[in-house]
Amino acid sequence: MNEENDENDTDFDLRAAMATALGDRAGAWALVRGFAAYWGEPLGPRDGFTDAELDAAEQRLGLRLPPALREAYRLFGRRADLTSCQDVLLTPDELHVLDGALVYRAENQGCAHWGVLLDDLALDDPPTVGRPDLADASQERWEPWEERFSTAAAVMAMSEKLLEDDELTDFLESETEIPLTFGELPRFGRDCRWYEGPDVLVQAVGDAWIAVRARTPEALDALHEAVPGDWLNG
């Protein structure tokens, strides 16, 4: 990483970026850019799909993709560390329609899918829906997920980065409370709580699990001491 990027990284204010991202999709994409650079590598021109690839998907499906979806795919759709460490962002040629919704993301074992209702595709930044894979398929329904696709995409980028198989990430299945010494960040994403400490970012999802990413091994060690438990890599 060059000196210019290093300098920009130190200026990234995650709290402010998350708050701005809640306002509109331009803020969501600014959050993704800043987050990618600070917690990994800056986005590059080859990290997204091309307009030609997205146009081909539209032609194959016989529908128009919402501007927010196209923007996300062009910006970081090829960055596996932001899209597919755990669950999977479908490639343009994998996009498909299921029971009245355009499916764009799948749980890593096919246990759930996320999409946009066909009736909402005309919106610039439509709401998203989720659908679990149930034993009785007749009971499966699309349920509201995020109010805007851009929010869902930014949450995906942050969540997947924390679930990356990396020496600076870790995972804990626990209901453990995060110490007050960690600052709570704006609510961002369904059932998600975010916390920031010295060189460490924490995501707590419901009462089910905690994922963390640190910028240094020392910061991760300090996190393990502050939040004891059966950490996956601790």
* Interval 168-221: pLDDT, tens: 999 999 878 899 889 999 999 999 999 999 999 999 998 899 999 999 999 999
pLDDT mean by block of 10 residues, the chain; 234 residues: 44 94 96 97 97 98 98 98 97 97 93 96 98 78 96 98 96 88 94 95 93 96 94 87
CB 126 within 8 A of CB 147: no
CB 33 within 8 A of CB 21: no
> What's residue 2's pLDDT?
42
pLDDT digits (tens, 9 = 90+) for 97-107: 999 999 999 99
Average pLDDT, the chain: 93
| pTM for the predicted model, two decimal places | 0.93
CB 92 within 8 A of CB 57: yes
Rounded to whole angstroms, the Cα distance separating 214 from 102 reads 35
Under DSSP, the state recorded for 91 is P
> What's residue 161's pLDDT?
98
What residues does 209 pair with on adjacent strands? 205
User: Which class for 146: exposed (0-12), middle (13-18), buried (19 or more C-beta within 10 A)?
Assistant: buried
Three-state DSSP state, 191:
coil
Q: Name the nearest CA neighbour of 149 among 91, 104, 99.
A: 104
CB 149 within 8 A of CB 212: no
Three-state DSSP state, 37:
helix
Rounded to whole angstroms, the Cα distance separating 106 from 165 reads 19
Residue 69 exposure: Cα atoms within 13 Å on the Cβ side: 29
Rounded to whole angstroms, the Cα distance separating 73 from 211 reads 25
> What's residue 139's pLDDT?
77
What are the C-alpha distances in Å from 214 to residues 61, 90, 113, 174, 223? 41, 28, 29, 19, 9
> What's residue 10's pLDDT?
58
What are the C-alpha distances in Å from 93 to residues 24, 70, 89, 122, 205? 27, 13, 11, 20, 31
Ordered structural domains, the chain, with CATH: 3-155 (3.40.1580), 165-226 (3.30.310)
Residue type, 31: L
Rounded to whole angstroms, the Cα distance separating 132 from 139 reads 10
Residue type, 182: F
